[in-house]
Chain A
Amino acid sequence: MSTPPPPFSGPPAGTPRLELSGITKRYPSVVANDGINLKVGPGEIHAVLGENGAGKSTLMKIIYGAVQADAGQIQWNGREVVVANPAEARRLGIGMVFQHFSLFETLSVVENIALALDEPFDLKALAIRVKEVSTRYGLPLDPDRLVHSLSVGERQRVEIVRCLLQQPQLLILDEPTSVLTPQAVQKLFETLRRLAAEGVSILYISHKLHEIQSLCHSATVMRGGKVTGTATPSRETPASLARMMIGRELPVCEVPAYTGIATPALTVSKLSLVPDDPFGTRLQDIELEVHRGEILGIAGISGNGQAELLAALSGETTSTPDSVKLVGLPVGHLDAGRRRKHGLAFVPEERLGRGAVPSMSLADNATLTAQRQGLVKKGFLRPKAAWDFAKRCIERFDVRCGGPGAAARSLSGGNLQKFIVGREIMQQPIAMVVAQPTWGVDVGAAAFLRQTLIDLSRQGVAILVISEELEELFEICDRIAVLAEGRLGPAVPKAETNAEKIGMQMSGLFAPADKEPAHAAA
């Protein structure tokens, strides 16, 4: 790697910026980090890879002072340090961007940043600095915008700019792209490369192996709390990286043919909806039909009506009775609970707060949607039945957690996703709608979830998957349609389309009859 002139009072050449040796952290049920060694040089973008639960986040929190290690040393620019808390980490020059942002919606960008600073501040001067830093790193931000009007990508920018204001020498990003659109990911990468060129070290966690290959100089792979190897991502293949992570070959999805009768199970016709949210997308004349035994994929970039379509399918927003039908039965006017009673299952993209109540246990979260599986009797809860249900779900879907009593928020994203998908499948639905099935899920678990969906469809369930990941859709779907600007294109058998055609449709080019010119991305 080229070594650009470091603008910071860096360490003498050859000294790593950060060196961990023998870091160990035990939790009551698991050793999350077991003698971890790791080295990051100045200006190096270093990936940390591993399955959900491998201990990556724990290690990052130890570096950031949010968790204390039981054993091991941290060397910072060649000096041994004890990072007692995040404030001290920031003082040393360590910044961290969390996956879940803790921003106040009713305050402006600059006010949010001011609140998180450790020093006294002058709001006006700060706003100018925010503007400076954000333009310099290609992260345009209006300091006076209120946070509630920002997209997820913009909110993440706020967090990154907040870190950059403190001129970090090491920036930690824990799964920063799992909530971003592809364009936002590209912007983020430009920023990170520029930072690295200025000498900032970056620790980068992601499950998306192609991202890591294009961005990172080096990688440390973890499994079960231990380092299992290091690699130069550009010299590896996604398959070889995956093998290091899960310790065996990545299973390839098996897609058998469906042998049952493919009758329509979920039908949407003439669905048009004006969103309540002024920033929402209007759905226009959506038509689709999912048959038993197939998986229909909906491709497209979030913000093109995905959220609105999902809510209309699940029953979180209602419309006219005939706009949504379940096996011929009009359900468009029914709420989510009633649709579930008629055999619809739904996995939303937000797991915490929507798919599960964060502070409740998994057993209590089983009751959220699986009440009809004997978890409620005559209006009273049956805690033992809920416990057993959650336990079966945990075992069958390999959910790594502290048991049915563990709070939903204590699970990693991937494991909570497995629990929610499992909970929905165990209700034996007729039709199932799944949003972003593998967001934030590691490669091993993602393969498992995909195979689970395929198998379920082959048992005669109609499945609709909305995903931003084209590769995933091509892997599991029988037919694919594109949702762009609130309009749904025709569902085409996967063999008759390809990534290029779908990409064209994503930019708003549907049937030739549609004479509207392509909109340039604003």
Chain B
Amino acid sequence: MPLLEPRPTPSARMRLLSPLIAITLTLAVGSLLFLALGKNPVEAFTVFFVQPLSSGNGWSELMVKAGPLILIAQGLAIGFRARIYNIGAEGQLIVGALAGGGVAIALDGVDAWWVLPLMVVAGAIGGALWGAVPALLKTRFNAEETLTTLMLTYIASFTLSYMVNGPWRDPEGMNFPQSIMFGDPALFSPWFEGMRVNAAILIAAVASVAFWIFTSRSFLAYQLTVGGLAPAAARYAGFSAQRTVWVSLVLSGLTAGIAGVGEVAGPVGQLNLNISPGYGFAAIIVAYLGRLNAVGIVLAGLLMALLYLGGEAAQVALQLPAAITGLFQGMLLFFLLGADVFVDYRLKPRPKPAYA
């Protein structure tokens, strides 16, 4: 006997409640996990969620991590609303980083204010092009973007590996797979002595406002949303399905590409194999946790950044493996998807005998 039945109309309350339920369940199961590992859950959660924010540097790190997550998720959400599932933002981030990093390497030694802006533009173009490839494949050959975007991520990451092992390897880098360290003109300068937070966070902030206006006010976003909600209505209205694909994938590639530049011109400072701790994938969770809404995504991005920080702190203070961050992210997504079922469905009341 099925336990669920469809609701007459999707529940708006459940849509907002669902992320909170997911967070609660993640914390609950996380406690069990800590217990099983022989750690005191209260202590573990203090390490995870409180300690990282008890210093100025902690807040700075939160911004450093939240910036790329929010920026990427804003772009992804546009496509997700239109049911275009770009899950290759990680690859677009890498290509953006390669494009921006390439500019930095080519202009090494040039001391001009426009080096950094040029890198950002190059990164945006690189990411957008990497998003355009699956758009082309989908509109031309009807190739599923979920597969192609993911496959292109591997190509991007092998390309990065080739570049830092080959043409762009730092000649003085003792054969490590990394480029030269970028010069100051190619770096976002930190705002505070000894902290890493920099102007890249402003890009995420401006993008959030822009996406908020775009999604709530623009006719183009309206068309994308209609395409996601009722494809036949979009065709009837004459909204181009091809344009939906292009806009979704190019826009999300573009934001991911800029995020890539933010990493190589920020905390990382060069091209190497560790430019992203999976921001492109985590941003998918951020987008859904934020209900594909520009404001929600900002909050979700901050939470996800805290998970990254907490995971690092837990490795140090509790000697937990690095996988702990991925585990928490995974649980969050799992519970979110589970709770989201109840937006459209509800528990079926158990049939009782009609008369006693």
Contacts and interface: CB of A to CB of B under 8 A. Distances in A.
The secondary structure that dominates the A interface is: mixed
Contacts of B230: 353-354, 357-358
Interface stretch (A134-142, A147-155, A190-198, A335-343): A335-343
Nearest to B349: A85
Interface in B124-142: none
Interface stretch (B35-43, B151-159, B201-209, B215-223): B215-223
A360 interface: yes
29 contacts: A84-B352, A85-B351, A87-B348, A88-B354, A92-B354, A102-B6, A116-B2, A118-B1, A118-B351, A120-B1, A315-B238, A316-B236, A336-B236, A336-B237, A337-B238, A337-B240, A353-B230, A353-B232, A355-B233, A355-B236, A357-B226, A357-B233, A358-B230, A364-B222, A376-B219, A379-B218, A380-B217, A381-B218, A381-B219
Contacts of A364: 222
A360 B229 contact: yes
B10 interface: yes
Interface string B319-356: 00000000000000000000000000000111111110
A379 B348 CA distance: 44
A340 B239 CA distance: 12
B238 A340 contact: yes
Interface string A332-351: 00011111100000101010
Interface string A83-113: 0110110111000000000100000000000
A88 B351 contact: yes
B349 A84 contact: yes
A194 B334 CA distance: 51
A380 B351 contact: no
A422 B351 CA distance: 44
A81 interface: yes
Interface residues of A, number: 48
B229 A337 contact: no
Interface in B230-249: 230, 232-233, 235-240
A316 B235 CA distance: 6
Interface stretch (A23-31, A156-164, A220-228, A366-374): A366-374
A359 interface: yes
B236 A367 contact: no
A115 interface: yes
Contacts of B218: 379-381
Contacts of A315: 238
A84 B236 CA distance: 41
A350 B2 CA distance: 30
Contacts of B349: 84-85, 87
Contacts of B2: 115-116
Nearest to A89: B354
Contact of A81 (B222, B239, B354): B354
Nearest to A102: B6
B233 A381 contact: no
Contacts of B355: 79, 81
Contacts of B1: 117-120
B89 to A, nearest CB: 26
A335 B9 CA distance: 32
Interface in B1-31: 1-2, 6, 9-10
A354 B2 CA distance: 30
Nearest to B242: A335
